[in-house]
Structure 1
Amino acid sequence: MATTAIQAMTAQALAKIILSYEKLFILDVRNTAEFDNWKIEGGATETLNIPYFDLLDGVDEALGQIPDGRDILVVCAKEGSSVFVAEQLAEAGRTDVHYLKGGMKAWSEHLEPVKVGDLKDGGELYQFVRIGKGCLSYMVLSDGEAAAIDTLRMVEVFERFAKDKGATIKHTLDTHLHADHISGGRQLAENAGATYWLPPKDATEVVFEYEPLEEGKEITVGRSRIRIQPIYSPGHTIGSTSFIVDDQYLLSGDILFVESIGRPDLAGKAEDWVADLRTTLYETYRGLAEELTVLPAHFGKATELGEGGKVAARLGDLFKSNPGLNIRSDEEFRAAVTKNLPPQPNAYQEIRRTNMGRLTPDEEEQREMEMGPNRCAVHDK
C-alpha cells in the first residue's frame, strides 16, 4: 500500500483493512468536538486527532506522533482538508500517505455485505454492515426471491446485490419506525414493485400506504419462511417487531444488541415504554430457543464486530453475558434505561418525521441528518 505520492483510499478499502485487522494509522483532522462525537474505530487501527487549523503552518506536530513504517490515512469531514494535510506529510518525506475519499460522509454511507449463513431449504441470509454508523440491514434470498429488512436509504446497494444474486425483491420490512437513520424500505419496495411492511402501532402518523406487520403473519421468500416472532416485542418503540428467519435466526431490531439493549426514549415515551421493554427482554425473549442466533439492527461498539465484520450472538449466551439482560429488579432496570443515557441521535426528530413521510429532505439534507453514530443502545456514550 506504500507509495511516493498521496493516494485516495475508498471507504470500501478502509472497511476491508479494518475487518482484516491490517495495521493503519489514522490522522483525523476534524475539530476535537466532531472527533470525540464520532470517529473511525475497529480492527488494528490507531488514531490521532489534530485539528486541521493546527496544521496550516506545518505538520511537524503530526510527524512527531506518527510512527515510522506505518501506512497513514488522513481523514476529514468531506475530503478537502485531508488532501491538504496528506500532501504536506508527503512533502515532509512520508511515502505511505493516503486520504479518505469522500471523508467521513463517505465512511458513513458504506455498506459491507457479510454472509450470515445458509437457510435450510437452500437459501441464504446476508447482513449489510454500515460500519461507519453502526447500522445493520439484512437480505433473505431463496429460490430467486429476496426480502430486505431494515433497509438503509442507499437502496441501490440492495438492488445491485439482489440482481447479482439473480433474485427479485418481493418484500421490504422495517422492524420499527427508525429514529437514527432514514429508512430505504419504502423506496426499495416502490422501485422493485415489492410489498413494504411496517408495524401498525409505529405507523399511526405515516402518510403513505403499507402492509401492516401484525402478529401471526408469515412472509414467504422463495422456499423459506420469515416467521414473525415474537408476535409483538415493544420497548424501543411501541410497535417494535422481531423476526425469526428459518427457525435459526432472531432479528431483534433495536430491542436487543450484542453488548447492550435498546433505549426507550427516542419517541419521548421512556417512562411509558420501560415496562414493555423489560417484558419483551425478560419474558418474551426468555421463551425463545436459546440456540437462536441474534441479529440486531445496530451495533454500538467496534468490539461487537465478529469474524468478517458479522454482528451476531447466540441468544443463550447473551442471557449470560449481556448486562441489560441481567438486571434483577424493576427499579434497577428503569433507572438503567432512563437515566444517564448517551445523547440522542443527530436530528432524530427530523429523521422520524422523514420516515413517516412528513418531511422530504433532498439527498444532501439526508446525509447531514444522518451524520454521527446511531446511539440506539443504552451504552452508546
Structure 2
Amino acid sequence: MTVTVMNSKDLTKKVFNKDELFILDVRNESDFQDWKIEGENFQYLNIPYFEMLDGVEEILPKIPTNMGLLVVCAKEGSSVMIAEMLSDAGRDVAYLEGGMKAWSEHLEPVKVGELKDGGELYQFVRIGKGCLSYMVLSNGEAALIDSTRMTDIYLNFAETMNAKITHVFDTHLHADHISGGRVIAEKTGATYWLPPKDATEVTFDYQPLEGGNDVMIGDTTINIHSIYSPGHTIGSTSFVVDEKFLLSGDILFIDSIGRPDLAGLAQDWVGDLRETLYTRYKELSNELVVLPAHFMIIEELNEDGSVSEKLGTLFEKNHGLNIEDEHEFRKMVTENLPPQPNAYQEIRETNMGKINPDIEKQREMEIGPNRCAVR
C-alpha cells in the first residue's frame, strides 16, 4: 500500500469542507489532550509512537477502512515511521508534512468582503492555533491587522495583489502569539500602530493608536476607524472598517468573550470589559460584521472557512453579551478563566521588544491552543 504526504493546506481544505478523516496521533497523551487537529467530521486515535515500535498489528482493528487515514506527530519523523509500518500492514496512509509544528504555523487567506470603491478585506485563518489576522486592500495599498510572526505569508500575498503594505496595526499587546507587526513595518517602511496604554514598556518606536484615529488606505474612502475598547487589555482597540466590518480584537468572539486576566488584573479589568461590550458596542450598528482576532472552536467557522457574524446576532446568541446583572457578569468572567497561554509572559515580553528569542524558541513558546477567551 502507498504512503502519501499531506500538507497543512490540503488538511485545512478538509477542515473547511467538513470531510471525514481518521487521525492517528502518535504524540504523548498529555500533548494530544492539550491540543489536537480539530475537524467536525474527524475521528481520532491517540497512541504514542513508542508503544508501536514492535508493530502496528494490535491497533489495526481500531482504524476504520472507509475513510482516509492520517498519521500526525510533533515534527514529522515519528509519523513517517508509523505510516510506513501501516503501509506494510496493508493500509493506505498519509502523514502530515512538518507535523504539528507546521500545522501551528499555517495561514489560510479567505476573502471576507468587498469594500467601497473596489477594495477587499481578507481574513488569514491560522487554523491550528485559532488566530485570525486581516489585510485591507485598496488601490495598491494594504493595511495589516493583528499579524502573526509568519511575516513572509503576508508580504507574498500583498505582492500577488500588487499592493504595498503601508500600515500595520495590533489591536492590543498579544499574550498568546508573537506579533509580526513590527518586523513587517521594518521590512516595508509601513507605519506601525499600537495602543499606547498597552505600550508603556515597549522598547521601539510606534504610532499611538487611540480612539478616534482615522487611517486611509489607498486614496479611496476606506476609513479604518479605531474605538478604544479595554477589557482584554487596558489598551485594547477595535476597528470599524468601511462602516461595514467590526474588527473586535480579543474583546468579542463568535461564541465567547475576551478574558481580562492576562496581566494579572482580572478584577480591575472585568469592569472595563463589561463597559466595552455592554455600552460601547451597544452604540454600534447591529449590521456590522464582527471579525475577531481568534476563534475558539472549529464549529465557529463558516462554510467558506471564515469566522464572522453580525453584531446584532451576537447580542442575541452570545451568552457573554446577555448577562444583565453586573455582579453575575463579574462572577461568570472571573470564575471561568482557562489556563494561561503557554509562555504568555515571555510572549508579552517579546511583543514589547524586551527579549528576542530565536525562531525555534518562538515556535516552542507558541505551541498549544489559544486561550484568549472566557469559557
Aligned residue in 2 for 1:59: 56
Q: Secondary structure at the match of 2:304?
A: helix
Which shows bigger deviation, 337-346 or 312-321? 337-346
> What is the rounded CA distance, in whole Å, between the counterparts of 2:296 and 2:151 in structure 1?
23
Match of 2:9 in 1: 12
1 CA distance for matches of 2:138 and 2:225?
18
> Normalized against structure 2, the TM-score is what?
0.98
Deviations for 1:268-289, whole angstroms, at most 9, x for unmatched residues?
Answer: 1111101000000000001100
Q: Tell me, yes or no, if structure 1 residue 33 matches structure 2 residue 30.
A: yes
Partner of 1:227: 224
Q: Name segments (4+ residues, structure 1) moved above 6 Å.
A: none
Deviations 1:219-276 (A, max 9, x none): 000114233242x100000000000000000000000000000000011111110100
Alpha carbons 1:26, 1:74 under 8 Å: kept: yes
Show structure 2 runs of 5+ residues with no match.
none
Following the alignment from structure 1 to structure 2, what is the Cα–Cα distance between the partners of residues 189 and 229? 19
Q: How many residues align?
A: 374
Deviation at 1:43, TM superposition (A): 3.8
Tell me, in whole angstroms, the C-alpha distance in 2 between the residues paired with 1:43 and 1:157: 27
Deviation at 1:340, TM superposition (A): 3.5
Counterpart amino acid of 1:202?
Answer: D
**After superposition, what is the alpha-carbon deviation per residue over 1:76-112, rounded to whole angstroms, capped at 9, x for unaligned?**
0111111111111101100x20001110000000000
Q: Decide which of 285, 289, 305 is 2:281's aligned counterpart.
A: 285
Q: Which moved more, 1:98-107 or 1:42-51?
A: 42-51
2:301 pairs with 1:305: yes
- DSSP 3-state at the match of 1:235: coil
Residue 136 of structure 1 contacts residue 298 of structure 1 at CA under 8 Å; is this kept in 2? yes
Confirm or deny that 1:145 pairs with 2:141. Answer: yes
Q: Deviations over 1:174-211 (max 9, x none)?
A: 00000000000010011011000000000000000000
Q: State the alpha-carbon separation in 2 of the partners of residues 8 and 42 from structure 1.
A: 19
Shift of 1:69: 2.8
Corresponding residue of 1:215: 211
DSSP-derived class of the 2:296 partner: coil
Letter in 2 for 1:110: H
Amino acid at match of 2:271: A
The one-letter code of the counterpart of 2:16 is L
RMSD of aligned Cα (Å) = 0.9
1:126 aligns with 2:122: yes
The alpha carbon displacement at 1:61 in A equals 3.2
Aligned match of 1:164? 160
Report what 2:172 is aligned to.
176
Q: Which residue is equivalent to 2:270?
A: 274
Amino acid at match of 2:19: E
Paired amino acid for 1:11: S
| Structure 1 residues 118-172: Cα deviation after superposition (integer angstroms, max 9, x where no partner) | 0011100000000000000000000000000001100000000000000000000
Q: List alignment gaps of at least 5 residues for structure 1.
A: none
Structure 1 range deviating more: 362-371 or 56-65: 56-65
Residue 22 in structure 1 maps to residue 25 in structure 2: no
SS of the residue corresponding to residue 62 of structure 2 reads: coil
| Superposed displacement of residue 44, structure 1 | 2.2
Q: For residue 132 of structure 2, give the secondary structure of its aligned residue in structure 1.
A: strand
1:357 corresponds to 2:356: no
Residue in 1 that maps onto 2:39: 42
Report the more deviating stretch, 23-32 or 166-175.
23-32
Letter in 1 for 2:240: I
User: What does residue 87 of structure 1 align with?
Assistant: 84
Q: Secondary structure at the match of 2:258?
A: coil
CA contact (8 A) 2:116 2:222 kept: no
User: For the Cα contact (< 8 Å) 1:108–1:131, is it kept in 2?
Assistant: yes
